Amino acid sequence: MSQEHQKGKGRDSAEESSVSHPPRANPNRPQYVTVGSGSTSQSAARLRAILDNDSGYGGSVAGDGNNASPAWNPTLTEDRPTPSHSPMPLGFEQSSESADNDRRIQANAIHQLWYNQHRVALGRSINRVVETLKSLQEKNAEWPATYPSVQRTEASSPQRQDSRPGLTHTQTGGRLSMPPPPRPGMMRRTQTSIGEDSTEAESSRAAEQRTVAEPRLITPQIAQEFSILKLDLKLGALHQTELVHSLEKNSIASLLDGKISTSIKHLLSLRERIEDTSSKVLVTGDLNAGKSTFCNALLRRKVLPEDQQPCTSIFCEVLDARENGGIEEVHAVHKDSIYNRHDESTYDVFRLADLEKLVTDNDTYTQCKIYLKDVRSIDESLLNNGVVDISIIDAPGLNSDTTKTTAIFARQEEIDVVVFIVSAANHFTQTAKEFIWAAAAEKAYIFIVVNGYDTIRDKERCQKMILEQVAGLSPRTSKESSELVHFVSSNAIPTSHPPPGPGGDGGSGSSSGGGGGDDPDFDNSDPKGKGKDKEKIRDFEDLEQSLRRFVLEKRARSKLAPAKTYLLNVLSDVHTLATVNQEVAQSELDRVAKELQELEPVLEASQKAKAEVGDDIDRTIEATCKGIYDHTRSTLNLAIAQAADEDLGVPYPGLLNAFQYADDLKEAMLSQISASVTMCEDQARIKTVEGVNTIRQLGLLHLGDKYTDLSFRSDAMFRRKRDILARQVEIETDLWDFFDWSTIMQRQEKVAGTGMALTIATALGSRMVGGFGWVDGALGAAKVVGNNNLRKLIIPGIIATAVAATYYILNQIPHSLPHRLSNKISAQLTAIDYVHANGDRISSSVRKVLRFPADNLRVGLQRSVEQLGSKREETRKIRGESEVARKYFGNLVNESAKIRNTVEAIDLEGPAPGVAAAYDP
Ligand SMILES: Nc1nc2c(ncn2[C@@H]2O[C@H](COP(=O)(O)OP(=O)(O)OP(=O)(O)O)[C@@H](O)[C@H]2O)c(=O)[nH]1
């Protein structure tokens, strides 16, 4: 450090020592409370008052040094120490420098106010988004949301026009996900940096328009635009969008649920982060790039061990000693412990001097907290800046080992500012590039320090090359390279060694002059410094001013931008998801409405058909059965009645075999009747087939494809209950069956030329045959022929007549016997109710057969009505759910757009009022 600089410090220091400790009006009030010359600036005091109420920063500035307020709240000032030079006693003449200082404090206060407004607005937006996401999660559980997917034909995804290599960020929070090997050149990032919001928003809007046009046909581009809620699908060789297609809707919904949960968690951590009053600056870079040297240079103290060989193996967070009650010491945090300064079981205490040992090759601790008194003034110091609590984290070299590298990537979430140290000699290594790409997910700007610039001979070429690389790595950083990219030599900055052992009074610092004076390494012989060193120091001081501006003034960017970027990204995803799902719900609604429209009449017709067809079937069966019964009855009656008249085909074998003849006749008649029964059965079969066909026709008409046709074999009918007539009818043939007088008489009338004898014989015979009064007949005949003649004729006459009659009767047997037998059979069949029994048997059998397909049809119709009914219920339910979903997603589209507008309106890019004026001379 130059002598000039030292002088400056000395002057400041002298001034501070004379002004910074005003008499304390309130002994309870910590002496380091006040920043700035409160007594001289009314407006600053007013602003401070506003801030005390508004900021939630525990009173980074608090009232006049002299006029301590009686309502003093010590908690407001906790860890907000008074910078050494700032306070000014009442009545002290305000110099131009203090006026400058005042202006700066005002600007700080205004900036703080501005910052707080944005912080509160972002906090509220985070709360709203968390609520929205929770409600989306609930909705997703009851109505599985559709995840945009592309059609298989479109599965090949377009690639980002990006020169970056295959790095896929699938998750939020800057976690690194290595590229899947088969997709080189594929680049996907979860979040864009703040400056890319507009592009993101625009593409998202374009996506929505496309979605509206074809809701279910999401282009691969939209699927690619998904960032936060992008599903992690890395199964096999299938592309993500194809996988979405192949997965079941519910699996997608549960994956989405997981994503939403992660997003909510991240939002809550972002809220915590923006509400955190401190800012964390991560100093990282390749191995041996000079990170520790740079940190030491920033602190102007040789605190962190520097070595030619890789030495920093754990995270070293440098904090202001005032946060540790003003004591300089190191807290080495145990592995697996969450650091709590008030709980000594979580860490071990060491001296600053032990750091070298601690930091190198350490397996016991993962990180250490270094509490340090800043030797520099409020205007120069980063740690002790009077605005916010800042800690500097010296991380292990990026490519030291994978675990540590991953840990650095992971810590990004809690980091507000990334200072990337790159070796001027080595430029950006692959790991360095990957880190910067990952960091870009949340951070729009990265502060780049090109260290070891002194070792470069062709400085211009080095600058050119590095700036070109930066342009490829972080275009936004590159745009502001004069502010954000610095070429320095950290080892040229004079530093002091830490004072031995713990100590300090928690006050304004023991070496406010900037240190270096007691450093044996520090060449103090040339107070002006060598020309080269002067240049290096000036470069470094430029860097410091830029870094201060970056951390303090642009804190809104560095601290709030990740929240804004994340919110915009998640809202964009929610908006796309909501738009798609609104469309899906609408089309679902249209579909079910149409379905219901078609279903209602079908169901009505089905119910009507069920009732009508039931009656129809009954009528058909009854009519068929009645027809069959009647037919059978009439056929059988006729058959029985005409049994004797038919040509039975039984030859009369003569008198000697008359009985056999009678039996044959009986059998023939019964067969004849049986044949009639069979004919009736055949007729019934035909009618049954007709009936079955009628039922089938009805079934096909009303049930269509759903009608189950039963195979029907009519030949199987009447097999079991055969007619058993032959066994039932038992007719004995007796002698008188052969003498059927009525038949004989009938025949006699037809045959001419029969004599009196025959008449008498007939009369007698008939009497004889017919009854018991044949004697009376004989007496009657005697009267006719006279007594004498009678006596002579009677015997031969009787004999002749008898012979003639007998002959005649026996001759008439083939004519008379069938009738006798037929009558007997008929009588017996009547007695056993044969005709009815058979008619009933046949028709019952037909009814039974017809009932089978009829019942089947009835069941089918009933089932069809039930199915249609339950389908209608289901469809109505889907309609209800879809209606609710459409409304919900419609609201979500509006709500996400509204919150998005609110978030977009939070302008973190523009300068805070008053800041530019304060810093630009
Ligand atoms: N010439 C030159 N050497 C430097 C510069 N900065 C650091 N060095 C040297 O580089 C070596 C490594 O410096 P460190 O600060 O230990 O590097 P580091 O990045 O912290 O190393 P690790 O933490 O182990 O990754 C030391 O010997 C430093 O003296 C510089 O600007 N110019």
Provide the 10 A C-beta neighbour count for residue 239: 21
Q: How far is the CA of 385 from the centre of ligand 1 (A)?
A: 26
Domain boundary, last residue among 128, 146, 167: 128
**CA gap 796, 560 in Å, rounded:** 156
Q: How far is the CA of 451 from the centre of ligand 1 (A)?
A: 8
Tokens of 647: 């040509």
Q: How far is the CA of 54 from the centre of ligand 1 (A)?
A: 43
Q: Is 391 in the pocket of ligand 1 (CB under 6 A)?
A: no
With respect to residue 920, please indicate whether it lies within any of the assigned structural domains. Answer: no
Q: Is 622 in the pocket of ligand 1 (CB under 6 A)?
A: no
Confidence at 657, pLDDT banded by 50, 70, 90:
confident
The whole-number average pLDDT for the span 356-368 is 78
Looking at the 3D structure of the chain, how many domains does it have?
A: 4
For 826, residues 6+ apart whose C-beta sits below 8 A from its C-beta are: 640, 641, 643
pLDDT value of position 81: 31
**Most informative mutation of 314, 356, 491 for ligand 1 (most atoms within 8 A of CB):** 491
Confidence at 19, pLDDT banded by 50, 70, 90:
very low
Confidence at 795, pLDDT banded by 50, 70, 90:
confident
Domain match, 841 and 860 both? yes
For the whole model, what pTM was predicted? 0.53
Q: Is 306 in the pocket of ligand 1 (CB under 6 A)?
A: yes
Residue 6 pLDDT exceeds 60 = no
Domain match, 836 and 779 both? yes
Task: Name the average pLDDT for the chain.
Answer: 70
**CA gap 555, 549 in Å, rounded:** 8
Tokens of 564: 């804004």
Q: Which domain holds residue 405?
A: 277-503+519-553
Q: Is 311 in the pocket of ligand 1 (CB under 6 A)?
A: yes
With respect to residue 884, please indicate whether it lies within any of the assigned structural domains. Answer: no
* Ligand 1 atom 27, closest CA: 308
Determine whether 900 is exposed, middle or buried from the number of CB atoms within 10 Å of its CB (0-12, 13-18, 19+). buried
The whole-number average pLDDT for the span 180-195 is 31
Provide the 10 A C-beta neighbour count for residue 750: 7
Residue 450 pLDDT exceeds 90 = yes
**CA gap 495, 795 in Å, rounded:** 183
Concatenated DSSP letters of 169-206: --SSTT---PPPTT-TT--B-S---GGGHHHHHHHHHH
pLDDT value of position 73: 31
Q: Is 454 in the pocket of ligand 1 (CB under 6 A)?
A: yes
**CA gap 61, 102 in Å, rounded:** 12
Q: Is 490 in the pocket of ligand 1 (CB under 6 A)?
A: yes
pLDDT value of position 294: 92
* Ligand 1 atom 7, closest CA: 290
Q: Is 284 in the pocket of ligand 1 (CB under 6 A)?
A: no
Q: Is 291 in the pocket of ligand 1 (CB under 6 A)?
A: yes
Residue 125 pLDDT exceeds 90 = yes
Residue 813 pLDDT exceeds 60 = yes
Q: Is 292 in the pocket of ligand 1 (CB under 6 A)?
A: yes
**Most informative mutation of 303, 306, 420 for ligand 1 (most atoms within 8 A of CB):** 306
Q: Among 208-217, 648-657, 792-801, which range has the highest average pLDDT? A: 792-801
| Nearest atom in ligand 1 to 397's CA | 25
Query: For the domain that residue 458 is a member of, what is the CATH number?
Result: 3.40.50.300
pLDDT value of position 774: 52
The whole-number average pLDDT for the span 769-780 is 52
With respect to residue 875, please indicate whether it lies within any of the assigned structural domains. Answer: no
Concatenated DSSP letters of 787-835: HHHHHHHHHHHHHHHHHHHHHHHHHHHHHHHHHHHHHHHHHHHHHTTHH
| Low-confidence winner among 50-54, 268-272, 381-385, 608-612 (lowest mean pLDDT) | 50-54
Domain match, 584 and 447 both? no
| Low-confidence winner among 85-89, 656-660, 749-753 (lowest mean pLDDT) | 85-89
Domain match, 311 and 361 both? yes
- SS3 sequence of 514-567: CCCCCCCCCCCCCCCCCHHHHHHHHHHHHHHHHHHHHHHHCHHHHHHHHHHHHH
| Low-confidence winner among 67-81, 294-308, 637-651 (lowest mean pLDDT) | 67-81
| Nearest atom in ligand 1 to 293's CA | 15
Query: Cβ(106)–Cβ(386) under 8 Å?
Result: no
Confidence at 186, pLDDT banded by 50, 70, 90:
very low
Tokens of 136: 């989306």
Residue 448 pLDDT exceeds 90 = yes
SS3 state of residue 341: coil
With respect to residue 810, please indicate whether it lies within any of the assigned structural domains. Answer: yes
Domain match, 359 and 244 both? no
For 884, residues 6+ apart whose C-beta sits below 8 A from its C-beta are: 143
Percent of the chain with pLDDT over 70: 60
Query: Cβ(105)–Cβ(44) under 8 Å?
Result: yes
Tokens of 263: 């997003």
Q: How far is the CA of 483 from the centre of ligand 1 (A)?
A: 23
With respect to residue 151, please indicate whether it lies within any of the assigned structural domains. Answer: yes
Q: Report, in this order, helix, strand and coil percent for the chain, each rounded to 5.
A: 60, 5, 35
* Ligand 1 atom 1, closest CA: 452
User: Is the interface score ipTM higher than 0.95?
Assistant: yes
**CA gap 34, 80 in Å, rounded:** 9
The whole-number average pLDDT for the span 845-855 is 87
Q: Is 293 in the pocket of ligand 1 (CB under 6 A)?
A: yes
Provide the 10 A C-beta neighbour count for residue 776: 11
| Low-confidence winner among 25-29, 805-809, 840-844 (lowest mean pLDDT) | 25-29
Provide the 10 A C-beta neighbour count for residue 318: 28
Tokens of 63: 């009232």
**Most informative mutation of 291, 293, 392 for ligand 1 (most atoms within 8 A of CB):** 293
pLDDT value of position 821: 80
Domain boundary, last residue among 72, 102, 128: 128
* Ligand 1 atom 24, closest CA: 310
Q: Is 165 in the pocket of ligand 1 (CB under 6 A)?
A: no
Q: Is 289 in the pocket of ligand 1 (CB under 6 A)?
A: yes
With respect to residue 58, please indicate whether it lies within any of the assigned structural domains. Answer: yes
Sequence-ordered alpha helix ranges (H) in 642-714: 658-703
Domain match, 258 and 294 both? no
For 534, residues 6+ apart whose C-beta sits below 8 A from its C-beta are: 2, 528
Domain match, 798 and 837 both? yes
Q: How far is the CA of 36 from the centre of ligand 1 (A)?
A: 37
**Most informative mutation of 283, 288, 392, 540 for ligand 1 (most atoms within 8 A of CB):** 288
Q: Is 174 in the pocket of ligand 1 (CB under 6 A)?
A: no
Q: How far is the CA of 288 from the centre of ligand 1 (A)?
A: 5
Q: How far is the CA of 361 from the centre of ligand 1 (A)?
A: 17
Q: How far is the CA of 307 from the centre of ligand 1 (A)?
A: 6
Q: How far is the CA of 291 from the centre of ligand 1 (A)?
A: 6
**CA gap 490, 453 in Å, rounded:** 9
Vertex 293: Cα angle to 288 and 295 (nearest 5): 115
Confidence at 443, pLDDT banded by 50, 70, 90:
confident
Domain match, 631 and 722 both? yes
Residue 754 pLDDT exceeds 60 = no
Q: Is 309 in the pocket of ligand 1 (CB under 6 A)?
A: no
Q: How far is the CA of 283 from the centre of ligand 1 (A)?
A: 13
Domain match, 287 and 375 both? yes
With respect to residue 469, please indicate whether it lies within any of the assigned structural domains. Answer: yes
Q: Among 353-357, 449-453, 566-570, which range has the highest average pLDDT? A: 449-453
Q: Is 491 in the pocket of ligand 1 (CB under 6 A)?
A: yes
Q: Which of 222, 238, 228 is nearest to 183 (CA)?
A: 238
Q: How far is the CA of 539 from the centre of ligand 1 (A)?
A: 17
Q: How far is the CA of 372 from the centre of ligand 1 (A)?
A: 21
Q: Is 302 in the pocket of ligand 1 (CB under 6 A)?
A: no
Q: How far is the CA of 366 from the centre of ligand 1 (A)?
A: 22
| Low-confidence winner among 153-162, 525-534, 610-619, 784-793 (lowest mean pLDDT) | 153-162
With respect to residue 391, please indicate whether it lies within any of the assigned structural domains. Answer: yes
Domain match, 383 and 304 both? yes
| Nearest atom in ligand 1 to 311's CA | 24
Determine whether 783 is exposed, middle or buried from the number of CB atoms within 10 Å of its CB (0-12, 13-18, 19+). exposed
| Nearest atom in ligand 1 to 395's CA | 23
Domain match, 121 and 146 both? no
pLDDT value of position 630: 93
| Low-confidence winner among 377-381, 633-637, 670-674 (lowest mean pLDDT) | 377-381
Q: How far is the CA of 356 from the centre of ligand 1 (A)?
A: 14
Domain match, 528 and 576 both? no
Q: How far is the CA of 549 from the centre of ligand 1 (A)?
A: 25
pLDDT value of position 900: 92
Concatenated DSSP letters of 645-657: TS--------GGG
Confidence at 273, pLDDT banded by 50, 70, 90:
confident
Residue 286 pLDDT exceeds 70 = yes
**CA gap 297, 492 in Å, rounded:** 8
Residue 539 pLDDT exceeds 80 = yes
Query: Cβ(296)–Cβ(306) under 8 Å?
Result: yes
Confidence at 187, pLDDT banded by 50, 70, 90:
very low
SS3 state of residue 281: strand
The whole-number average pLDDT for the span 49-56 is 38
The whole-number average pLDDT for the span 311-328 is 84
| Low-confidence winner among 146-150, 717-721, 883-887 (lowest mean pLDDT) | 146-150
**CA gap 592, 347 in Å, rounded:** 64
**CA gap 276, 803 in Å, rounded:** 149
CA-to-CA separations, 298 to 155, 281, 490, 772, in angstroms, rounded = 52, 12, 9, 161
pLDDT in tens, 659-697: 787 888 888 888 888 888 888 988 899 988 888 888 888
Residue 134 pLDDT exceeds 90 = yes
**Most informative mutation of 283, 292, 355 for ligand 1 (most atoms within 8 A of CB):** 292
The whole-number average pLDDT for the span 49-70 is 34
Q: Is 313 in the pocket of ligand 1 (CB under 6 A)?
A: no
* Ligand 1 atom 14, closest CA: 290
Percent of the chain with pLDDT over 90: 11
Look up residue 287 and give its DSSP letter.
T
The whole-number average pLDDT for the span 66-91 is 33
Q: How far is the CA of 293 from the centre of ligand 1 (A)?
A: 6
pLDDT value of position 561: 79
Residue 108 pLDDT exceeds 60 = yes
**CA gap 766, 769 in Å, rounded:** 5
Residue 27 pLDDT exceeds 50 = no
